[in-house]
Structure 1
Amino acid sequence: MIRMTSALLTASVSAFALAATACADASTDTGMAESSATIQEADGSRYARDGIPSGPDAARQIIADAPEAAWRAVDPDRLLVISTRHGDIWVELAPEFAPNHVARIRELVAEGFYDGKVWHRVIRDFMAQGGGASDNPGLNADREPLQAEFMIARRLDTDIAISELQDRVVNPREANTRARAGFWNGFPASTMPLGQAGIRADGQVESWLLHCRGAVAAARTSNPDSANSQFYITTGTPAHLEAVYTVWGRVRAGQDAVDAIRVGTMGETMGFRPDFIMSMRMASELPESDRLTIEVFDTDTPDFAVYLQALQAANNDRLPDVCDIEIPVRITE
């Protein structure tokens, strides 16, 4: 059975636009879409032949009518399954941005480290932090701390391509420095303009994955290089964590299970009884009958570019903030 995971398949585009303009975190700044450079349909595409859909249901129609080539299947070996009493959470890993953090997660998952651990710090509309023990919320694995991977360096000839759709403040608590924001492989991402690589001595620019709702990242202390085994999943859009905490994955299915995790903090919230992580496994290790097939709307396709056009048209000709743009997911059970 195939089902879609997308707010736009259950609500009108106009309702989405209203939500997009009321972003919970006012620290981001949405710029006008650069339609001539980043939102365009390919010559000879079906849109050139049949016309671009318009009207309040345009974005929904674009998703529903998208060809198979517009969908990217997530490799089961890059898909982490976190089982909770509220359901399974399916996380796509991003080793291109955080190779050492992803390697650590894989290692601990293979050892069964997370099985029976708790969601020990859960703050509504912010994040759910897991990996502590019921008798020791500060528990970490017996491993050396990880060096920060808040950002990666990209060259002009890099294979990692981030669309530059809009301006965005990097981190409102750090400074008013602005960067470009868009998507990489269906992940919301930000980058210093790649054009700057041509004028820098090292030929590189800094890029990072964003803390939009559904980001999965490494918890740490005030020491930037102190991440170990604990992690968190965002239920809001905490812009103050951008580029100072390492994002290593993104929820592709099961965000409702994350939202349902019991709220509270061990040792602080009176009577708090944390929910448990029942298990964590790679999807590739599960029997095929227990796996979901998860396909993500490919953010590098003409269909996605036209989808953005529809969202912009429904939002007073302004592209919503990158964190408010739903990335459609198609799930086969």
Structure 2
Amino acid sequence: MIRRAVPALTMLTLCAASAAAADKPATPVAVVAAARASEWREIAADDLLVMTIEGGRRVVIQLAPAFSPTHVGNMRTLAKAHWWDGTSINRVQDNYVVQWGDVTEKKPMPPGLSPTSSADYVQPIANRRLRVTPLPYPDPYAPSTGFVAGWPVAMDGDGVWLPHCYGFVGVGRNNSPDAGTGAELYAVIGQAPRQLDRNIAVVGRVIEGMAHLSSLPRGSGELGFYTEAEHKVPIVSVRLASDMPAAERPRFQVMNTEANSEWNSFTHYLRLRANRKDDFYDRPAGGVDLCNAPVPVRPVP
């Protein structure tokens, strides 16, 4: 094989390009992509709710039983009873929420649902050993924030709760003392309405198919509800992944948020979310709020 000599100027250019690439500031995306396999954990199939809507579009919700055990327990019961099959998406309010359930409010509930109350919105910290990765920036809605077991959380001296971030799922309810059963649900599709924190049960987050919800036509009725003349998007089925055939189950991993060392991938990712120094950014923000540091989730590779 004949090897052609590389001109000295070209060689210097290549070396300079390689050095520039090596010195290029890291980005959050790059840190996530480079995270070790040991820094991810698989989400249990019993914590994945798979909703299929009109047109075969799939939405996958990760449930949060540690932070909303009563409502999540009810949702598992509803899914096992196929209660949502044949219901619909009834409300799409711009920059706020997509809401679904039984528009008639007359569909019988399956047996085995537990009573709920506003006490279920916050979980007590007492006697719980939470391994918290703190977010060291001021939050207008809570004394402190951070990450526990792959979830963003807000906290005070007594309790811990999930925030209303983009894509998070909450339980629809009437006025207090009603706290909802878990049958009527909504997903946040706009700027995080954190004023709802501790006023409604937050039960999980959408981890796949968010575009199928956020792109739906907005309802023209009050609060974005669809009128009789508008098309309510049918829900074909809702299943727990654990009740699906193994070959059809979606599988996902969430990044480990526990800071085992100062330089683990999630800690580095958080630092970069607050201090972007890559080519596009001229001024790092010097901080990040809880909803703008989403915990990375990926399909099982």
**Shorter-chain TM band:** 0.7 to 0.9
Distance 1:249 1:267 in 2: 23
Distance 1:267 1:59 in 2: 37
Q: Give 3-state SS (helix, strand or coil) of 1:107's partner.
A: helix
CA distance in 2, matches of 1:305, 1:207: 21
| In 2, Cα distance between equivalents of 1:90 and 1:160 | 27
Identity score, percent: 26
Partner deviation per Cα, 1:135-190 (whole Å, 9 max, x = no partner): x2x446546752221111112x52333333132122xxxxxxx4211222222210
Question: What is aligned with 2:151?
Answer: 187
The two structures have a TM-score, normalised by structure 2, of 0.78
Asked if residue 240 in structure 1 is aligned to residue 195 in structure 2, the reply is yes
Gaps of 5+ in 1: 1-52, 171-177, 197-204
> What pairs with 1:55-70 in structure 2 (closer than 5 Å)?
55-70=24-39
Q: Is the 8 A contact 2:50 2:61 kept in 1?
A: yes
Q: Which residue type is aligned with residue 187 of structure 1?
A: W
Match of 1:326 among 282, 288, 294: 294
Return the match for 1:278 from 236, 244, 249. 236
- Stretches of structure 2 lacking an aligned partner (at least 5 in a row): 1-21, 277-282
2:130 is the alignment partner of 1:163: no
- Check the 8 A contact 1:81/1:90 in 2, yes or no: yes
> Are positions 1:111 and 2:81 aligned together?
yes
Q: Do 2:90 and 2:226's aligned partners in 1 also have CA atoms closer than 8 Å?
A: no
2:91 is aligned with what amino acid?
R
Change (3 A) 1:55 1:127: farther
Which entry has the higher C-alpha Rg, 1 or 2?
2
Partner Cα distance (1:54, 1:330) in 2: 27
TM-score, with length taken from structure 1: 0.71
Report the CA distance between 1:79 and its aligned residue: 0.8
- Measured against aligned partners, the alpha-carbon deviations of 1:91-133 in whole angstroms (never above 9, x if no partner) come to 1111111111011111111111100101112212211111123
1:162–1:140 CA distance, 2 compared to 1 (3 A): farther
Q: 1:215 aligned to 2:186? A: no
- Structure-2 residue corresponding to 1:96: 66
The answer as to whether partners of 1:119 and 1:261 remain within 8 angstroms in 2 is no
Counterpart of 1:277 in structure 2: which amino acid?
Answer: I
Higher relative contact order (CA closer than 8 Å, sequence separation 6+): 1
| Secondary structure of 1:263 counterpart | coil
With over 3 angstroms needed to count, the CA separation of the structure-2 counterparts of 1:54 and 1:221, relative to structure 1, is: farther
Aligned residues: 259
- Judging changes above 3 Å, is the alpha-carbon distance between structure 1 residues 312 and 268 closer, same or farther for their aligned structure 2 residues? closer
